[in-house]
Amino acid sequence: MLHLNFTPFPILTTKRLQLRQLTTADANEILIHRSDERILEFIDIPKASTLEDALAFIHKINKGIAENESIFWGIQLKERPLLIGSICLWNISKEENSGEIGYMLHPDSQGKGIMQEALEKVIEFGFINLKLKTVVADVHPNNLKSIQLLKKNGFVYKATIKDMVVYELNDPSLSH
């Protein structure tokens, strides 16, 4: 069974990115990301309308991290501390050693390999640090870029549930 502890918060870095905990200073970017129709097109989340909505979201996310229920990173370029997206592991099942991955990226940052870098690092964290056996992703069937990204990273189709397609990735170290 998993024993989760996200304190201290695990900051992850890649060649170009820093994945870090959200702070209240990110409220403007969170408001932009959670209200932009282009970002929300395939994601079923409540739309943010005010800075208070964004601050409430940041508080909710950080409470989930403090309670070791989920882990959520803001994505920024190393040389530019502006939040450009987010990635998380949530719906973590301690009994099944599994978690769900979710992500969003501002359209200005899409198509540059940024989410590929972030996804690889978070999957590695999930398998190595959290000892997950399986990472799943629920994706809108029309979100072809996301499906392509998942397939590129070894995820395989498992099912269609409630108008969403489910992809799954098993820890490759367990297949030996």
HEC states along 21-73?
CCCHHHHHHHHHHCCCHHHHCCCCCCCCCCHHHHHHHHHHHHHHHHCCCCEEE
Q: Residue 29 pairs with which residues in a beta bridge?
A: none
pLDDT 10s digit of each residue in the chain, 176 long?
788 999 999 999 999 999 999 999 999 999 999 999 999 999 888 899 999 999 999 999 999 999 999 999 999 999 998 999 999 999 999 999 999 999 999 999 999 999 999 999 999 999 999 999 999 999 999 999 999 999 999 999 999 998 999 999 999 888 75
Both structure tokens of 132: 């997950």
Both structure tokens of 171: 């820890």
CA atoms within 13 A on the CB side of 26: 24
User: Before 8, cis peptide (omega within 30)?
Assistant: yes
Residue with tokens 């940052």: 109
- Find the helix packing angle between 144-152 and 114-124, rounded to 10°: 50
Tally of CB atoms within 10 A around 81? 12
133 neighbors 94 (Cβ within 8 angstroms): no
SS3 135: strand
- What pTM, to 2 d.p., does this model score? 0.95
**Distance of alpha carbon 68 from its chain centroid, rounded?**
15
CA distance 65 to 72: 7
SS3 8: coil
Per-residue model confidence (pLDDT) at position 95:
92
Residue type, position 69, single letter: E
Both structure tokens of 60: 């909710």
